[in-house]
Amino acid sequence: MMMQPLNDELLTVPGVMRLLKVNRNTVQEWLLDPALPRLYVGKSQQPRILNSDLQKYLRNRSRNWASYF
């Protein structure tokens, strides 16, 4: 497994929402997809997504857009 650069930002759900200007339902839908890497932190198990993983996921999703209907 390749390590991510240290400056790769770890995003919260609200962080993803602000970055991409999407609503919470959109991010929650993406989190249902096991293809989106994420980790859970703290006792509340809040999901976090590396910005680089999010970008890769969205690039792949845009290339295969027809399979998401």
pLDDT beyond 70 at 21: yes
pLDDT beyond 90 at 6: no
The span from the CA of 21 to the CA of 11, in Å, is: 14
pLDDT beyond 90 at 12: yes
The span from the CA of 29 to the CA of 33, in Å, is: 7
Residue 14: the pLDDT is: 97
pLDDT for 24-50, tens place per residue? Answer: 999 999 999 999 999 999 998 999 999
Find the mean pLDDT for residues 9-22.
97
Residue 67: the pLDDT is: 84
Please, is 49 exposed, middle or buried when counting C-beta atoms within 10 Å of its C-beta (0-12, 13-18, 19+)? buried
